[in-house]
Amino acid sequence: MLNTPLRFSPSSVARPGGCPRYRALKARPARSRANGRHRKARSRETYGLGPLGKVLDLVEFDGLDVEAALTRWRNGRGRDTHPALVRWTEHAVGRYLDSLVAPTDGTGKGLALQPVSRTWARRPDRPLGGLPEPHEEIVYGRRYAGDGVRELRFTRFREVKDRERDEAEIALAAAVLAAGGPVLSDPWSSGPLLIGRYERPERVRVIEVGCLDGSSRELFDDVPDTAFAAYEEHARERVLEVATGEALHPGPDCGRCPIVASCPAVPSVPGLLGVDDDTGPRRIWSVTTSRRYGQCAPIPYFHDLNLPRDTVKEESESTARGRLVHAEIEARHDRVPLRACAADDPVTGSAESDADKPTIKSGTDGLETRLRHQMLGDHSLVCPMRHVGFDADVEFVPEHQVVVHDPSADVVVIAKVDLLYRIGGIWRLRETKTNRRVYEGDLLKRYEQIALAVLLSAEGALPSGSGGCRVELERLTATGPILTEFDVNEPEPVRAAREVVRSSVAGWHSDETLATSPGKACRGCGFSRWCPDAATGAET
């Protein structure tokens, strides 16, 4: 593998996050793809801005007007595209083209920039920290050139105002524009790129465009030497950091990682979800996925596409209550030194500062505020620390993330636990729910997070091994707190939990159509703007 290159793009060196090992593997496309197995690919689009690029290519390189380009795409490569993604693409194309304002030469005269079909890449002469592999840097995005200027435009889903940018990302892009040649081979090739000759530009520009509103922002506009200096200051160390990453941080990256099945940080639990079909592409599932799917089948897909959504429309009194109470309890459980929650604890600010935001679709916020404060006081009656001495051996992990791979379904399960804690030698997992009324039915069916927690504990995917982590449900209600413990060593609760999870996952996993279900759910759906079926259901 020594002759195969490391390859970096601006997005690959953006601010650190995710799994360092995955980022390092992704920078080695030959190794990354060699570890992956071939699988059946679904025909549906997986990137919400992918169709935008295809339509813009027809406009900029085939000379079609917008309507003709959209028509050709819809009748060709976009034929199987979900109608909501089609509507979003139509909107994004228009907003992007609205943003195309030609730069000036400094005297007010406009520069004649033309679209460039070939992407740009460079192969720096300076070795990367002694690593044996050669390394390449490439930019993806909309490219323009003319009058001695090269310009790269990043497309973003939403508006660009107040968006924090990473200097390493900008600097790498600017350096490639300053010294990159046209890529004459497949830019996604796992082997070394074939890079053509280039004329050094006099000026390089990096712009970002918000496709929701057509807003744009200049990120870099200067001469090549300044671009190279910015690279040395902001990007070089980040490139080396990505290339040498070894730490394992399980999370969403596991859904794309080709070595997840052998990763020591991700437990493998065959059959966890009760689905025996690994022929499709790997996906990520959580209880939230099933909740969204139950509202309307395409909603999880819209989230995966990252389509812009109206979060205010999705908010209700109950969701706001749960979010604010959870944030306050999490803050208290994260205090140092750790101590029991008390009824008279001052509110840290998270519940108070958000209470007056215009997110709750009701005029009863005064009642809701009192109910939230009552629930926080009630929590002190069932707080895990209430009977624990100051010298006890205690470990608290609020908002703990559990990641498990089910190879039978080839699904990465991600569960965000409200609280994972240990008192003495006993581990417990606790989920907290805020309900105005007390629910008296089947708690495992009502609270799928608990069913999944029971199953994870029984399968040994939580601390202390099989059955070693106790599962608790804390319900904060208008009539007081209720604490329920589930015995994960009894076969009946485990059997019931397994059936709940299987029923929750099966339809989502096998659904190839993602048909909409117009109705009352449209009223609270943040994606209704893009869904052609929502207009009928929104009035139901």
Q: Which run of H or E residues covers position 145? A: strand 142-146
Mean pLDDT score across all residues of the chain = 90
pLDDT at 41: 54
Identify which has the larger pLDDT, 39 or 215: 215
Q: Is the pLDDT confidence value at 356 over 50? A: no
pLDDT band at 72 (very low <50, low <70, confident <90, very high): very high
What is the tens place of the pLDDT at every residue in 122-179?
998 888 887 878 899 999 999 999 999 999 999 999 999 877 889 999 999 999 999 9
Read off the pLDDT of each residue in 503-508 and give the average, rounded to a whole number. Answer: 96
Read off the pLDDT of each residue in 387-407 and give the average, rounded to a whole number. Answer: 89
The helix/strand/coil state of 48 is coil
Q: Are 292 and 527 in contact (CB under 8 A)?
A: no
Write out the two tokens for 355: 């209470």
pLDDT band at 109 (very low <50, low <70, confident <90, very high): low
Topology, domain 283-510: Lambda Exonuclease; Chain A (3.90.320)
Q: Is the pLDDT confidence value at 354 over 50? A: no
346: left (phi over 0), alpha (psi -120 to 50) or beta: beta
The helix/strand/coil state of 52 is helix
How many whole angstroms separate alpha carbon 52 and alpha carbon 79?
14
Q: Is the pLDDT confidence value at 349 over 80? A: no
Q: What share of the chain is helix, strand, coil (3-state, %, to 5)?
A: 35, 20, 45
Q: Domain limits of the chain?
A: 6-243, 283-510
| Length in residues, the chain | 540
Of 4, 22, 2, 8, give the one whose Cα is nearest residue 246. 22
Read off the pLDDT of each residue in 12-24 and give the average, rounded to a whole number. Answer: 91
pLDDT band at 1 (very low <50, low <70, confident <90, very high): very low
- Identify the residue whose tokens are 């190794």: 31
- Residue 433 burial class via C-beta count within 10 angstroms: exposed 0-12, middle 13-18, buried 19 and up: buried
Read off the pLDDT of each residue in 479-504 and give the average, rounded to a whole number. Answer: 96
Write out the two tokens for 535: 């207009």
Angle value at C-alpha 330, between 326 and 331, nearest 5 degrees: 120
How many whole angstroms separate alpha carbon 481 and alpha carbon 435?
10
The helix/strand/coil state of 528 is coil
How many whole angstroms separate alpha carbon 40 and alpha carbon 279?
6
DSSP E strand stretches across 394-519 = 394-406, 411-423, 426-435, 469-477, 480-486
Q: Is the pLDDT confidence value at 352 over 50? A: no
What is the tens place of the pLDDT at every residue in 178-196?
999 999 999 988 889 999 9
pLDDT at 128: 81
Q: Is the pLDDT confidence value at 78 over 80? A: yes
Helix 317-333 × helix 365-382 angle, to 10°: 40
Q: Extract long-range pairs of 314-320: CB within 8 Å, 24+ residues apart.
A: 314/524, 314/525, 314/526, 315/359, 315/360, 315/361, 316/360, 316/361, 316/524, 317/360, 317/361, 317/362, 317/364, 317/368, 318/434, 318/435, 318/436, 320/354, 320/359, 320/360, 320/368
Identify which has the larger pLDDT, 69 or 337: 69
- Identify the residue whose tokens are 């159509």: 513
Q: Are 146 and 113 in contact (CB under 8 A)?
A: yes
What is the tens place of the pLDDT at every residue in 440-470?
899 999 999 999 999 999 999 999 899 899 9
What is the tens place of the pLDDT at every residue in 241-262?
999 999 999 999 999 998 999 9
